[in-house]
A = this chain, B = another copy of it.
Amino acid sequence: MATAVLLLSCPDRRGIVAAVANFLLGHGGNVLHADQHVDTVDGVFFQRVEFDLDGFGLDRWDIEDAFREAVAKPFQMDLAIRFSEDRPAMAVLASRQPHCLADLAVRWSAGELPADLRVVISNHPDHRELCEGLKVPYIHLPVGSEPGGKIHQEAQVLAALADHGVELVVLARYMQILSPAFIAAHPNRVINIHHSFLPAFVGANPYRQAHDRGVKLIGATAHYATDDLDEGPIIDQETTRVTHRDDVARLTRAGRDLETTVLARAVRAHLEHRILVYGHKTVVF
């Protein structure tokens, strides 16, 4: 079924829901899902509405203009409109560890992710056969040890992303720091997995930090990447129990399953157009 999704936010006031509903009804729209939220502290209204395109009275290319004129402008809305038939072009960036990359690639291959996985890029050569077995192009872009090697490699990554028309970049335990320019070029379009329950254990070696502190749970956090490392809007988090028996190696192993699960959920929420970013927070419908 071909559907459209409206993602909108605006200052909260009376009549928003009625205006959206009347617009859709006026064009013969059949609402499949609707979800809304009001941040009563800041007075902001959020809504996600998914409706059937079959039998809708407007051509899909005319919907945005018509909706802007009739509803979005009067209510001063931020608006995005997505179509289920548009599968975002996605790239996965990975380093040596395969678990998140392999999980995403397998899910994609099995049809679980409504995306077009255009390319996998890694600074390591290791994952080529896995990717090619799943029919995903693999680009190996090593980081040279010469001065400027990192900068040069990032430029190559950016070029490869542009070549493949990538809209969503997933950092699947990619261990290279991205420059502010890279991030700025992809606002809310780079999803990272951090291997701790943020804001605990920011920075390097979170499993070692967790072990040193003697925690009884470890966690993982998927978030949009921003300039401020590990401070981006959180999309999803999960924890799992650990005990004194778990040394750093076992924490790392247990953490891999968490990272995989949380990153996959976050990517799916993004691809299903269920996320609205709001300040440094998210609304995930």
**Contacts of A282 on B, CB cut-off 8 Å?**
214, 244
From B25, B198, B219, B253, A112 is in contact (CB under 8 Å) with: B253
User: Nearest-CB distance from A115 to chain B (Å)?
Assistant: 15
**Contacts of A164 on B, CB cut-off 8 Å?**
none
A32 touches B25 (CB 8 A): no
Is A257 an interface position by the 8 A CB rule?
A: yes
By size class, the interface of chain A is 35 or more
Q: Which interface residue of A30, A214, A215, A235 has the most chain B CB atoms within 10 A?
A: A214
Contact with B along A252-267 (1 / 0, CB 8 A): 0100110001001000
From 173 to 208 in chain A, residues with beta carbon under 8 angstroms from any chain B beta carbon are: 197-201
Contact with B along A212-254 (1 / 0, CB 8 A): 0111110100000000000001111111000111010000010
From B98, B244, B283, A281 is in contact (CB under 8 Å) with: B244
Distance A134 CA – B261 CA, assembled complex (angstroms): 21
Is A102 an interface position by the 8 A CB rule?
A: yes
**Contacts of A200 on B, CB cut-off 8 Å?**
197-200
Closest 4 CB pairs of A and B: A133-B133, A214-B281, A18-B21, A200-B200
Main secondary structure of the interface of A (DSSP, over half): mixed
Distance A205 CA – B207 CA, assembled complex (angstroms): 26
Distance A161 CA – B26 CA, assembled complex (angstroms): 51
Contact with B along A19-54 (1 / 0, CB 8 A): 001101100111111111111110000100000000
From B36, B40, B129, B281, A135 is in contact (CB under 8 Å) with: B129
Distance A243 CA – B236 CA, assembled complex (angstroms): 9
**Contacts of A245 on B, CB cut-off 8 Å?**
37
Distance A23 CA – B239 CA, assembled complex (angstroms): 41
**Beyond A98-B110, A244-B284, 6 extra complex contacts between A and B, CB < 8 Å:** A21-B22, A37-B244, A102-B102, A214-B282, A216-B236, A257-B264
Distance A43 CA – B255 CA, assembled complex (angstroms): 25
A-B contact pairs, 10 of them (CB 8 A): A15-B25, A17-B17, A17-B21, A98-B109, A99-B110, A102-B110, A130-B134, A197-B219, A199-B200, A214-B280
**Contacts of A39 on B, CB cut-off 8 Å?**
244
**Contacts of A247 on B, CB cut-off 8 Å?**
40-41
**Contacts of A239 on B, CB cut-off 8 Å?**
197, 217, 219, 239
Distance A272 CA – B235 CA, assembled complex (angstroms): 28
User: Nearest-CB distance from A158 to chain B (Å)?
Assistant: 28
Contact with B along A89-128 (1 / 0, CB 8 A): 0000000011100110011011010000000000000000
